[in-house]
Amino acid sequence: MTTIADLLREGSERLRASGSPTARLDTELLLGHVLGVERTTIVAHPESPVGPEAEARFRADLDRRAAGEPVAYIRGIKEFHGLAFTVDPRALIPRPETERLVELAEAEVMRRLVSTPREPGSAPLRIADVGTGSGAIAVALTVALTRRRVGSEYQITATDRSPEALQLARENAVGHAAAERITFVEADLLPEPVEAPFDIVLANLPYVRSAVVPELPVAASFEPGVALDGGADGLDVIRRLLDLLPTALADGGEAMLEIGSDQGMAILDAVAEHLPGWTCRVEPDLSGLPRVARIVRTPAAAEGAKS
């Protein structure tokens, strides 16, 4: 009977030949998915036999991966911020870089809740997750705050212009018991009109340059193009959001926007042009590369907007 080791060897060779840069890892994940076990079990028991039905399913999944389809879509799940998210072509696959945005958002929410005593009956912090896609940011943030015993002190509005993506986000919110704290709204960037200003705006919007999109790995071609293409310099959609912030962000509020690793200076210039008087600093990711633009509406800027 065919063993795990046999299929790992076969799969790795085939995916390496098809151009996968992570052929061995892909093979382990796909075989683990078919067998219903963790990847660590696959690695630890190479001598275990694999039945003919599982072998056939594995080879079918291997065909899909060899054609370029992302492993996450084949498995139907993607790990993000310690959670397993349902993923499919309705939305972009969550990237590890975006975990930095969630970490910064969690820290900012906690700072706002504990730095100043909150009067009983105070309105909850209003948080927007713009272009929520699979719901990864909103759901991961909600789960993180729940673990820190933060309850009704905040409310998240998650927006997306794709009703299909919003449905996927709802499914993930329900799956992680986060739906009570998240309101899903179909909108192009922010709801119109904004009923009350947000205290925190989070966004992982398209920021890949249009000319670069065709050069991305073939796996990206299976994802929604609208979730990747950010225009000529990658900042077209982000600039549209910047123009909405004066009416959408509360005095002293903060927007945190994920950017490309080569867009640190460009986002500073864009904020200076579109939001004069506001402050912006760029936080690096774990590799030390520019990753999150933190844009704060200062009181002086708020007064200037009112006059």
Higher pLDDT, 276 or 1: 276
Q: What is the pLDDT of residue 120?
A: 75
Lowest mean pLDDT among 4-13, 62-71, 118-127: 118-127
Q: Which two tokens stand for residue 288?
A: 């030390």
Sign of CA dihedral 163, 165, 168, 173: negative
Q: What residue spans in the chain does CATH classification 3.40.50.150 cover?
A: 96-306
Q: Architecture of 96-306 per CATH?
A: 3-Layer(aba) Sandwich (3.40)
Q: Which two tokens stand for residue 239?
A: 């600039």
Lowest mean pLDDT among 46-50, 112-116, 194-198, 287-291: 112-116
**Cα 210 → chain centroid:** 20
Q: What is the pLDDT of residue 299?
A: 72
CATH number at 4-67? 1.10.8.10
Q: What is the pLDDT of residue 117?
A: 72
Closest CA to 170 of 129, 126, 230, 220: 129
Q: What is the pLDDT of residue 121?
A: 75
The model's pTM is 0.93
Q: Cα separations (Å) of 40 from 56, 179, 282?
A: 22, 32, 37
Q: Which two tokens stand for residue 142?
A: 């909600």
Q: Name the band, by pLDDT with cuts 50, 70 and 90, for residue 220.
A: very high
Interatomic CA distance for residues 45 and 4, integer angstroms: 7
- Nearest-10 Cα torsion for 80, 83, 84, 89: -40
Q: What residue spans in the chain does CATH classification 1.10.8.10 cover?
A: 4-67
pLDDT above 60 for 303 = no
pLDDT above 90 for 301 = no
Q: What is the pLDDT of residue 294?
A: 98
Q: What is the pLDDT of residue 115?
A: 82
pLDDT above 90 for 213 = yes
Interatomic CA distance for residues 8 and 73, integer angstroms: 20
Asked if 154 and 125 touch (Cβ cutoff 8 Å), the reply is: yes
Torsions phi, psi for 21 (to 5 deg) = -75, -10
Would you call the peptide bond into 96 cis, given omega within 30 degrees of 0 as the criterion?
Answer: no
Q: What is the pLDDT of residue 129?
A: 98
Query: Percent of the chain scored above 90 by pLDDT?
Result: 91
Beta strands 198-203; 182-186: pairing state: unpaired
254, β-bridge pairs: 200, 296
Tokens 């905040």 belong to which residue? 154
Q: What is the pLDDT of residue 300?
A: 59
Interatomic CA distance for residues 164 and 161, integer angstroms: 9
Q: 70-129: per-residue pLDDT in tens?
A: 999 999 999 999 999 999 999 999 999 999 999 999 999 999 998 877 777 788 999 999
Asked if 99 and 80 touch (Cβ cutoff 8 Å), the reply is: yes
Interatomic CA distance for residues 153 and 7, integer angstroms: 51
Query: Percent of the chain scored above 70 by pLDDT?
Result: 97
* Mean pLDDT of the region 226-253: 97
Q: What is the pLDDT of residue 118?
A: 72
Torsions phi, psi for 126 (to 5 deg) = -100, 120
- Mean of pLDDT over the chain: 95
Q: 189-204: per-residue pLDDT in tens?
A: 999 888 899 999 999 9
Q: What is the pLDDT of residue 52?
A: 96
